[in-house]
């Protein structure tokens, strides 16, 4: 996994930097440590199930769409905003694509385009309202969340499985991971596999990592989130940068929605419920600061993994009701929020 240390790693700084490690790297370090610690705990206390490669790859299979959504969320959060519409938007994308495939005779390609179109449309409208009309992001995306929720049931009110042949074939495609696998109870070797969505998610994550790390747009996201007024004074077009963040987030929700659709193979108004919370939680756990300017796609990736690992642990402990995972997620958000807040307050104090 690439980390944010690329720049600092190769060179020895001429001066011992006084503040030590940067915010981004500090929070990323916490995240990765938490993930590793958690996975080791899982292996130690919950048996060897967690040792099988497939357990790990299943986490990826289950969370491919969440990774994509979280990446979008991280970008928006880096600019200092938030987008809580992504969860219900995923449901809307699923439902629309499903209806398009089965009831309107669409092809997989057109349904993919539809998914991207819906995501983009949401991104453009929300981005315009937030960046150019300067309305609070939370209100705009809260409305977006409810709009998507309502639209989903207007498109189709009940759950149904997609029968389209091409789509089912695509859904069933398994990509075997070379060199990985385990021996099952009967002694046969079972190679580990991932679904197509995982490939999409990983590619997206890498692309976005590069975007944030090396492109002007990506760096502008950080600058705007760090200090909006300064960013303006430094010659950055703040409004366009914010707009692009929401546009990207919407587009990624479209992609994530389609990946989710590919994973479950059905449309339902209750799909991906609470996904926005999981995405926010993953970003926060991954070291993205709500106040903006700090965050990293690599962290977000580990944030998703940490979150799903802890969910797995919770369910392995026999607490497999859905409400336990919700409480765990909330507790994780709370913990990491407080960590961030403390980091921030301590920093402000030390400056005085």
Partner 1 sequence: MQEGAVLELRGICKNFPGVRALQNVDFTLREGEIHALMGENGAGKSTLIKVLTGVYPKDEGTIYIRGYDGPAAIKSPQDAQEMGISTVYQEITLCPNLTVAENMYIGRTKSSLTNWKKINRDAGELLDTLGIPASPTQQLASCSIAVQQMVAIARAVDMECKVLILDEPTSSLDEQEVAKLFNLMINLKSKGVGIVFVTHFLDQVYEVCDRITVLRDGQLVGEYVIEDLPRVLLVSKMLGKELDDLDGVGKADARVGYDAGGVSVMEASQLVSTAGIKPFDFSIQKGEVNGFTGLLGSGRSECVRALFGADRAIGGTLSMNGKKVRISKPLDAMKHGIGYLPEDRKRDGIVGDLSVRDNIILALQVMKGFFRPFTRAQAEAFADEYIKLLDIKTASADTPVKSLSGGNQQKVILARWLLTNPVFLILDEPTRGIDIGTKLEIQKLVLKLAAQGKSVTFISSEIDEMLRTCSRLIVMRDRKVVGELTGDDLTQNKIMTTIAGGENP
Partner 2 sequence: MTTSTKTPIQAPPQRVKTGSLLSRLTRHQIFIPIAALLILVVFNLIADPSFFTISLDHNSAGNPVLSGYLITILDNASELVILAIGMTLVTAASGGQDISVGAAIAIGGSVVLRVLCGTDSRPEVLHAPIIVAFLVCCLVSMLFGAFNGVLVAYFKIQPMVATLILFTAGRSIAAWINNNELPIISDATFGYFGNFIPGIPIPTPVFIAVVCMIVIAAVLKFTNLGLYTQSVGINAHSSRLNGIDPAFIKFITYVIMGLCVAVAGFIKVSRFSTINYSVVAKDIEMDAILAVALGGSALSGGKFNMTASILGAYVIQFLTTTLFKFNVVSSALPAYKAVVVILLVVLSAPVVRERLGILARRFSPAKPAKEVG
Contact residues: partner 2, CB under 8 A:
82, 129, 132-136, 138-140, 142-147, 149-151, 153-154, 157, 269, 274, 277, 280-281, 290, 321-327, 329-331, 333-334, 337-338, 341, 345
Q: Please, which residue, 177 or 339, has the CB nearer to partner 2? A: 339
Give which of partner 2, partner 1, none residue 23 binds (C-beta under 5 to 8 Å, depending on kind). partner 1
Q: β-strands 266-267, 189-195: how paired?
A: unpaired
CA pair distance 23, 44, nearest whole angstrom: 31
Label the pairing between strands 189-195 and 174-183.
antiparallel
- The number of residues in the chain equals 352
Euclidean distance between CA atoms 99 and 103, whole angstroms: 5
By beta-carbon proximity to partner 2, the closer residue of 67 and 129 is: 129
Count the Cβ atoms, other than its own, within 10 Å of residue 254: 30
Which residue's entry shows tokens 């998703």?
A: 304
Cβ-Cβ contacts under 8 Å for 201 (sequence gap 6 or more)? 60, 63, 64, 65, 67, 68, 259
3-class DSSP assignment, residue 176: strand
Query: Are residues 287 and 73 in contact, defined by beta-carbon separation less than 8 angstroms?
Result: no
Cross-strand bridge partners of residue 183: 189
Q: d(Cα 334, Cα 225) in Å, to the nearest integer?
A: 22
Q: Which of 144, 197, 226, 269 binds partner 1 (CB under 8 A)?
A: 226
Nearer to partner 2, 56 or 324 (CB): 324
State the minimum distance, in angstroms, from the CB of residue 216 to partner 1.
Answer: 5
Options 156, 232, 316, 326; binder of partner 1; rule CB under 8 A? 232
CA distance 112 to 107: 9
Is residue 245 a contact residue for partner 1 (CB under 8 A)?
no
Write the CB contacts of 106 (distance below 8 Å, at least 6 apart in sequence): 100, 114
Q: Which is nearer to partner 2, 251 or 280 (CB)?
A: 280
Question: Binds 301, which of partner 1, partner 2, none (CB < 5 to 8 A, cut-off by type)?
Answer: none
**Residues 297, 300, 302, CA angle at the centre, nearest 5°?**
115
- For the bound state, the minimum distance from the C-beta of residue 221 to partner 2, rounded and expressed in Å, comes to 19
Answer for which of 1, 11, 179, 270 binds partner 1 (CB under 8 A) is 11
Q: Which does 239 bind (CB under 5 to 8 A by kind): partner 1, partner 2, none?
A: none
184-213 binders of partner 1 (CB under 8 A):
213
CA angle 240, 25, 77 (to 5 degrees): 30
Which x/- pattern over 17-56 shows residues binding partner 1 (rule: CB under 8 A)?
xxxx-xxx--------------------------------
Contact partner at residue 105 from partner 2, partner 1, none, CB < 5 to 8 Å by partner kind: none
Residue showing tokens 């915010």:
23
End-to-end CA distance of the chain: 38
Among 39, 222, 246, 336, binds partner 1 (CB under 8 A): 222
* Residue 22, binding choice from partner 1, partner 2, none, Cβ under 5 to 8 Å by partner class: partner 1
| Paired tokens of 177 | 């991971």
Binding mask 263-302 for partner 1 (x = CB under 8 A): ------------------------------xx--------
Residue 70 vs 241, nearer CB to partner 1: 241
Question: For partner 2, which is the closer residue by CB, 205 or 224?
Answer: 224
Position among 8, 33, 107, 161 found at the interface with partner 1 (CB under 8 A):
8
Cβ(268)–Cβ(94) below 8 Å: yes
Q: Does 237 bind partner 1 (CB under 8 A)?
A: yes
CA 74 – CA 97 distance, rounded (Å): 26
Tokens of 119: 């995501």
Judged by beta carbon, residue 166 or residue 331, the one nearer partner 2 is: 331
Binding site for partner 1 (CB under 8 A): 6-8, 11, 13-15, 17-20, 22-24, 213-217, 219-220, 222-223, 225-227, 229-237, 293-294, 347, 351-352
């Amino acid at each position: 996994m690439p980390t944010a240390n690329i720049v600092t790693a190769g060179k020895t700084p001429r001066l011992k930097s006084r503040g030590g490690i940067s915010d981004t790297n500090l929070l990323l370090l916490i995240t990765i440590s938490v993930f590793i610690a958690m996975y080791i705990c899982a292996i130690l206390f919950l048996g060897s199930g967690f040792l099988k490669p497939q357990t790990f790859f299943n986490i990826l299979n289950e969370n491919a769409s969440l990774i994509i959504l979280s990446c979008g969320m991280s970008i928006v959060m880096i600019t200092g905003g938030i987008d809580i519409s992504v969860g219900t938007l995923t449901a809307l994308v699923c439902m629309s694509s499903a209806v398009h495939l089965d009831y309107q005779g669409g092809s997989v390609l057109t349904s993919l385009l539809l998914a991207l179109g819906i995501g983009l449309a949401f991104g453009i409208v929300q981005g315009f309202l937030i960046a150019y009309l300067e309305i609070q992001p939370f209100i705009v995306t809260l409305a977006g969340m409810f709009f998507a929720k309502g639209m989903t049931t207007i498109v189709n009110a009940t759950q149904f499985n997609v029968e389209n042949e091409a789509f089912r074939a695509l859904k069933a495609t398994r990509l075997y991971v070379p060199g990985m696998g385990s021996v099952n109870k009967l002694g046969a070797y079972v190679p580990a596999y991932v679904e197509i969505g995982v490939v999409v998610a990983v590619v997206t994550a890498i692309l976005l990592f590069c975007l944030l790390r090396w492109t002007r747009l990506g760096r502008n996201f950080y600058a705007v989130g760090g200090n909006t007024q300064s960013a303006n004074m430094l010659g950055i077009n703040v409004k366009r940068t914010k707009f692009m963040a929401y546009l990207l987030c919407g587009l990624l929700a479209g992609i994530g929605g389609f990946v989710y659709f590919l994973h479950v193979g059905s449309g339902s108004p209750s799909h991906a419920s609470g996904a926005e919370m999981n995405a926010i939680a993953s970003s926060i756990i991954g070291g993205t600061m709500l106040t903006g300017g700090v965050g990293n796609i690599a962290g977000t990736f580990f944030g998703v993994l940490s979150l799903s690992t802890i969910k797995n642990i919770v369910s392995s402990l026999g607490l497999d009701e859905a409400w336990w995972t919700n409480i765990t997620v909330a507790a994780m958000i709370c913990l990491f929020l407080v960590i961030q807040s403390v980091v921030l307050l301590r920093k402000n104090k030390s400056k005085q």
